[in-house]
Amino acid sequence: MRLNGEISSGEEEPEDEKQAATTTTSSPHKVVVGYALTSKKKKSFMQPTFTALARNKGIYFVAVDVNKPLPEQGPFDIILHKLSGEEWSEIIEDYRQKHPEVTVLDPPDAIQHLHNRQSMLQDVADLNLSDCHGKVGIPRQLVITKDKDPSTIPYEVTKAGMKLPLVAKPLVVDGSAKSHELFLAYDEFSLSELEPPLVLQEFVNHGGLLFKIYIVGEAIKVVRRFSLPNISKRELSKVAGVFRFPRVSCAAASADDADLDPNIAEHPPWPLLERLARELRHRLGLRLFNIDMIREYGTKDVFYVIDINYFPGKVWENARI
Ligand SMILES: Nc1ncnc2c1ncn2[C@@H]1O[C@H](COP(=O)(O)OP(=O)(O)OP(=O)(O)O)[C@@H](O)[C@H]1O
Ligand SMILES: O=P(O)(O)O[C@H]1[C@H](OP(=O)(O)O)[C@@H](OP(=O)(O)O)[C@@H](O)[C@@H](O)[C@@H]1OP(=O)(O)O
Ligand SMILES: [Mg+2]
Ligand SMILES: [Mg+2]
């Protein structure tokens, strides 16, 4: 671990950052983490309780100044980043190449893979986890590219044999509110109201409960969140249209303490999660992500991964540091 010399950090330095900048290499256990985050992420992630806990363990967080050349800052042991844009990706990739001694969480190409709702689930689809204390797959999905005339969507859906209802999701996930604007479609004709590029995913009944599986390096943590309720055949036959729905499974929708039907609420089997996490960590080349997983209603061990997010939420609440 290195901690020598000045560390130039952006903006106003909090106390612990000043301390990190002036401490010398007396302890071999000090770790300097340069962070480059959106203001939203900084607010939710860099909370005093967290940075104090980290400091007690010899981990110092120092803000990267994105307006200054990265190689002139540091030295860092780790760079933790969640910023969008091609320019930032190039900066961080260049730095990664020139500073192999620094752990960059995570490589920009690997993160980019999660910025598209088709490519993000491809590795899960490629995995053959059918005999590992349960089955894990992805819902059937269809990509509607930007160049497609929306009026052709009903035909495309019928041609692909997609089963209604469908969840319509923006193809690109870039951290914007728009990329989280999702719709539930009860009939294929109403889908022509939506704007491509989109991913249309078959809705899987799952008893209104979702498992968020946080993966932080080797650590795995599962939490329960409320989700969309089942849609019955009767409801489907009576309702038509596309309906926008809010962020149903956000942090405020925790179901960890709820009194739920154990058939729905029982966590996915641990060996299955360990295998899935190990495979995805390896295939995606990421160390900081989460998987949204649902159990098909009425089954014990049929699971679907519906979403993967890079460096999600307050991931530190879910990991031991
Ligand atoms: N195929 C599906 N079947 C059933 N429910 C679904 C499906 N896809 C999404 N959902 C519901 O919609 C919610 C949002 O979907 P998804 O997680 O794909 O969106 P997101 O905007 O990427 O969310 P996040 O905030 O986790 O990034 C899920 O938490 C779940 O409740
Ligand atoms: O809104 P929160 O802080 O909770 O975190 C959300 C996070 O936003 P942030 O990284 O900008 O904070 C989202 O990232 P983007 O796709 O928008 O990049 C995504 O990962 C959600 O799944 C996280 O929600 P969680 O399900 O973990 O609670
Ligand atoms: Mg999700
Ligand atoms: Mg997501």
Q: Which CATH architecture has domain 31-105?
A: 3-Layer(aba) Sandwich (3.40)
Class of domain 117-310: alpha beta
Residue 4 has what pLDDT?
Answer: 28
Q: Quote ipTM for the complex.
A: 0.96
Q: Annotated binding residues, as ranges?
A: 41, 82, 117, 169, 180, 201-212, 227, 292, 307, 309, 313
Nearest of 186, 182, 199, 106 to residue 145 by alpha carbon: 199
User: Which atom of ligand 1 has the smallest separation from the CA of 203?
Assistant: 3
**Could you give the residue ranges of the DSSP H alpha helices within 119-261?**
119-126, 153-159, 233-238
Q: What residue ranges do the domains of the chain occupy?
A: 31-105, 117-310
Residue 318 has what pLDDT?
Answer: 57
Instruction: Give the separation between CA 24 and CA 18, rounded to whole angstroms.
Output: 12
Residue 2 has what pLDDT?
Answer: 34
Paired tokens of 93: 């990739």
Paired tokens of 43: 């607010």
The answer to whether 31-105 and 117-310 have equal CATH topology is no
pLDDT mean for each 10 residues of the chain (321 residues): 30 48 54 96 92 95 96 96 94 96 97 97 90 91 97 97 98 94 97 97 98 96 97 97 96 94 97 96 98 98 97 71 53
User: Which atom of ligand 2 has the smallest separation from the CA of 307?
Assistant: 22
DSSP for 110-155 reads HHHGGGBTTHHHHHHHH---SSSSSEEE---EEEE-TTS-GGGHHH
One-letter amino acid of 248: V
Paired tokens of 186: 């009860």
How many residues would you count in the chain?
321
> Which ligand is located closest to the Cα atom of residue 306?
1
- How remote is the CA of residue 252 from the centroid of ligand 4, in Å? 16
Query: What residues contact 57, with CB distance under 8 A and at least 6 apart?
Result: 321
Residue 13 has what pLDDT?
Answer: 44
Cα angle 175, 197, 247 (rounded to 5 degrees) comes to 40
Mutate to test the pocket of ligand 2, among 309, 311, 315, 316 (most ligand atoms within 8 A of CB): 309
Residue 316 has what pLDDT?
Answer: 63
Residue 128 has what pLDDT?
Answer: 79
- How remote is the CA of residue 231 from the centroid of ligand 2, in Å? 26
Residue 12 has what pLDDT?
Answer: 41
Nearest residue (CA) to ligand 2, atom 11: 41
